[in-house]
């Protein structure tokens, strides 16, 4: 097979690149490891007709181009859905964003008093040399509020002790979530934003969502790519690849699940596979510096357990943050609230129990049966479902769900990209793990759109690495206003 562009990965970045290229009349082949699903981390799993995401996926972008792309693919199958989420703490559901009256009433007078005393104590005896996230929050709001509304959930998601997370992250995180401000204001402490009733005005209260989940978007994109002449190779990986010394063309052997090999030559290679896997695939790890950098990249993994229950769901929110340290679940999705069509039988519900973990740890290594049993026990303990009403369950593991930003990730990524650029021409890195960037779906897509534009133009007219994570991505602003800002994620104290 001879194509202009060979693409590794049929996630949002790979499919967007392929769609744009085939639309412009270019020939492409996409190699996707998964035998069934397209969409990567943004796929929608179908379990006996119950559809669930790898964590709920909101469609909201500051890029007008991406918003228009979604409409082009989905037409009127793209729903506008209300956003609703709450915080579970100590048997109660707190409004999110936090509202002072609601929080106070639910914390009760004794706890409220403890919060005030602990705030006062932090003002009298603050940490002097603030380096950690924990110290920053405790200094500003007191230990009690830190423990109730931040510590547990942050540690579940990031797998790091709040004492090890750098303080830099605190200001942005708290500005974004404004968890504490409302409570502090209700005690007459802190600064009240002008014209505010204590509720964050910018927090988006609706988002777009495909009727049958994000997977529907990516299945449609796949079908359109095939209609436009693209080749999809599911359940396949590249088992050998090299560049022709004179022509610079890529020569790849693609092997499917049955062991059938296809030789493909291509002018361009677009990779959305994890950077460290690409390094191995290309043999770039022959350079010890590149090999060490690839080995140094770290990831946070994730698994979701879909639980199907009889009867009506116990809450209407899209999801609930679980700030309860006695259970391991971090967030619970209610997929019927994302779209009623995610659940085939209206007399049942489907919850997504989300566990943030590391491949190889106790949670990751548990058998599916044990994971389902634990999820049932935990949702029962939280009082959000009766274990006897749970009729079925399904586990989905997602390796490399989050690229980790640690002290050395930036230097590792730079070492790898410099090494690859020196050695290989016509190689394009795109997407989330493909660039080891904390890109959301729309940013991953934008890297795909720009990569396609560069290939069509025949030179790198667009800076794909300039596509960045947006600080207030899902928490504020308006869709399509094209405002891109650097997004901070927790980093370990250097
Ligand atoms: C819990 C969670 C919730 C999220 N929520 C949202 C949200 O609400 N909104 C939002 O916009 N984004 C969200 N995201 C982010 C979103 O999922 C990603 O940004 C997006 O899927 C990245 O697209 P991608 O194409 O770069 O990579 P991926 O989605 O990782 O796709 C890569 C594809 O390449 C394939 N592949 C990898 N290596 C190989 C190989 N060697 N050979 C063949 N195939 C290969 C994979 O199988 C996969 O299909 C969330 C992510 C997580 C983890």
pLDDT tens digits, residue range 166-193?
887 776 666 544 445 555 665 565 555 4
Taking CA atoms only, the protein residue closest to ligand 1 atom 28 is: 40
222-264 pLDDT per residue, tens = 999 999 999 999 999 999 999 998 999 999 999 999 999 999 9
Residue 453 CB neighbour total at 10 angstroms: 17
Which regions of the chain carry the CATH code 3.50.50.60? 2-40+210-297+406-466
2-40+210-297+406-466: what CATH class? alpha beta
CB 250 within 8 A of CB 426: yes
Q: What is the pLDDT of residue 179?
A: 45
Residue 302 Cβ contacting ligand 1 at under 6 Å: yes
Which regions of the chain carry the CATH code 3.90.660.20? 299-403
Residue 442 Cβ contacting ligand 1 at under 6 Å: yes
Residue 99 has pLDDT above 90, yes or no: no
Residue with more model confidence, 135 or 173: 135
Q: What is the pLDDT of residue 112?
A: 86
- H or E stretch covering 206: strand 206-210
Q: What is the pLDDT of residue 195?
A: 43
Token output for 130: 């603030």
Distance CA 81, CA 62 (A): 17
Token output for 254: 């693609």
Residue 451 Cβ contacting ligand 1 at under 6 Å: no
Q: Is omega for the bond preceding 97 within 30 degrees of 0, making it cis?
A: yes
Q: What is the pLDDT of residue 181?
A: 59
CB 343 within 8 A of CB 335: yes
Pocket test for ligand 1, best of 8, 16, 30, 40 (most atoms within 8 A of CB): 40
Interval between CA 62 and ligand 1 midpoint (Å): 19
Tell me the backbone φ, ψ of residue 80, rounded to 5 degrees: -100, 115
CB 53 within 8 A of CB 429: no
**Bridge partners of residue 306, in order along the sequence:** 352, 394
Rg of the chain over Cα atoms, rounded to whole angstroms, equals 24
Q: How far lies 463's CA from each of 124, 269, 361, 389, 428, in Å?
A: 50, 17, 38, 52, 11
153-189: burial string, b at 16+ Cβ within 10 Å, e else: bbbbbbbbebebbbbebbebbbebbbbbbbbbbbeeb
Residue 58 Cβ contacting ligand 1 at under 6 Å: yes
Interval between CA 176 and ligand 1 midpoint (Å): 24
Q: How far lies 4's CA from each of 222, 231, 249, 458, in Å?
A: 18, 12, 9, 12
| Residue 41: CA count within 13 A, CB half-sphere | 28
Taking each helix axis from N to C end, the angle separating 275-282 and 288-296, rounded to the nearest 10 degrees, works out to: 150
What average pLDDT does this structure show over 320-345? 96
What average pLDDT does this structure show over 428-434? 96
Query: What's the fold here for domain 299-403?
Result: Polyamine Oxidase; Chain A, domain 2 (3.90.660)
Residue 330 Cβ contacting ligand 1 at under 6 Å: no
The candidate with the shortest Cα–Cα distance to 473, out of 207, 214, 210, 197, is 207
Interval between CA 154 and ligand 1 midpoint (Å): 22
What average pLDDT does this structure show over 276-292? 94
4-24: burial string, b at 16+ Cβ within 10 Å, e else: ebbbbbbbbbbbbbbbbbbbe
Q: How far lies 71's CA from each of 67, 75, 335, 342, 350, in Å?
A: 7, 5, 22, 20, 27
The candidate with the shortest Cα–Cα distance to 7, out of 40, 45, 55, is 40
CB 252 within 8 A of CB 238: yes
Nearest atom within ligand 1 for CA of residue 432: 26
The candidate with the shortest Cα–Cα distance to 400, out of 278, 248, 236, is 278
Q: What is the pLDDT of residue 183?
A: 58
Residue 408 CB neighbour total at 10 angstroms: 16
Q: What is the pLDDT of residue 192?
A: 52
Q: Which of 298-307, 333-342, 454-463 has the lowest mean pLDDT?
A: 454-463
Distance CA 306, CA 179 (A): 29
CB 355 within 8 A of CB 159: no
What average pLDDT does this structure show over 392-399? 97
What average pLDDT does this structure show over 89-100? 84
Q: What is the pLDDT of residue 439?
A: 86
Task: Work out the percent of the chain whose per-residue pLDDT is above 90.
Answer: 69
Distance CA 428, CA 272 (A): 9
Residue 279 has pLDDT above 70, yes or no: yes
Q: How far lies 359's CA from each of 106, 345, 402, in Å?
A: 37, 34, 12
Label residue 472 by pLDDT band (50, 70, 90): very low
Q: Which of 302-306, 352-356, 419-423 has the lowest mean pLDDT?
A: 419-423
What average pLDDT does this structure show over 403-420? 90
DSSP string for 54-101: SS---B--S-HHHHHHHHHHHGGGEEEEE--EEEEETTEEEEES--HH
Q: How far lies 366's CA from each of 156, 303, 357, 361, 376, in Å?
A: 17, 11, 12, 9, 15
């Amino acid at each position: 097979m001879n194509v202009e562009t060979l693409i590794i990965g049929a996630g949002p970045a790979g499919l967007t690149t392929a769609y744009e290229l085939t639309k412009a009349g270019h020939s492409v082949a996409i190699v996707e490891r998964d035998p069934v699903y397209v969409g990567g981390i943004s796929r929608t799993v179908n379990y006996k007709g119950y559809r669930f995401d790898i964590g709920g996926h909101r469609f909201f972008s500051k890029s007008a181009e991406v918003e228009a792309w979604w409409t082009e693919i989905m037409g009127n199958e793209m729903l506008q859905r209300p956003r609703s989420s709450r915080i579970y703490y100590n048997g109660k559901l707190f409004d999110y964003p936090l509202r002072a009256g609601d929080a106070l009433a639910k914390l009760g007078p004794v706890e409220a008093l403890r919060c005030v005393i602990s705030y006062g104590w932090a003002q009298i005896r603050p940490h002097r040399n603030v380096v950690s996230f924990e110290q920053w929050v405790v200094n500003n709001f007191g230990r009690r509020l830190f423990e109730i509304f931040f510590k547990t959930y942050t540690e579940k998601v990031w797998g790091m002790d709040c004492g090890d997370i750098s303080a830099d992250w605190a200001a942005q995180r708290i500005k974004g979530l404004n968890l504490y401000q409302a409570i502090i204001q209700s005690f007459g402490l802190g600064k009240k934003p002008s014209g505010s009733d204590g509720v964050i005005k910018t927090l988006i209260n609706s988002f777009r969502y495909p009727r049958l989940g994000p997977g529907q978007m990516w299945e449609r994109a796949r079908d359109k790519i095939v209609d436009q002449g693209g080749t999809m190779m599911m359940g396949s990986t590249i088992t050998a690849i090299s560049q022709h010394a004179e022509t610079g063309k890529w020569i790849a052997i693609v092997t499917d699940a049955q062991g059938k090999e296809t030789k493909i030559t291509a002018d361009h290679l677009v990779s959305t596979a994890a950077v460290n896997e690409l390094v191995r695939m290309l043999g770039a790890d022959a350079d010890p510096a590149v090999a060490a950098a690839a080995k140094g990249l770290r990831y946070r993994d994730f698994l979701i357990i879909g639980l199907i229950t009889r009867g009506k769901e116990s809450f209407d929110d899209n999801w609930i943050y679980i700030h309860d340290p006695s259970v391991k679940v971090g967030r619970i999705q209610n997929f019927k609230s994302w779209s009623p069509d995610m659940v085939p039988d209206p007399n049942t519900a489907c919850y997504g129990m989300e566990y943030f973990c590391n491949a190889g740890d106790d949670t990751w290594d548990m058998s599916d049966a044990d994971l389902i049993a634990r999820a049932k026990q935990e949702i029962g303990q939280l009082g959000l479902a009766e274990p006897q009403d749970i009729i079925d369950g399904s586990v989905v593991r997602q390796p490399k769900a989050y690229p980790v930003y640690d002290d050395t990730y930036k230097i590792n990524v730079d070492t790898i990209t410099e090494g690859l650029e020196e050695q290989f021409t016509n190689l394009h890195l795109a997407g989330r793990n493909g660039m080891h960037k904390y890109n959301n779906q729309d940013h991953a897509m934008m890297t795909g759109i720009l990569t396609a534009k560069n290939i069509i133009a025949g030179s790198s007219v667009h800076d794909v690495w300039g596509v960045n994570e947006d600080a207030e991505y899902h928490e504020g602003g308006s869709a399509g206003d094209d405002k891109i800002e650097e997004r901070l994620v927790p980093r370990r104290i250097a």
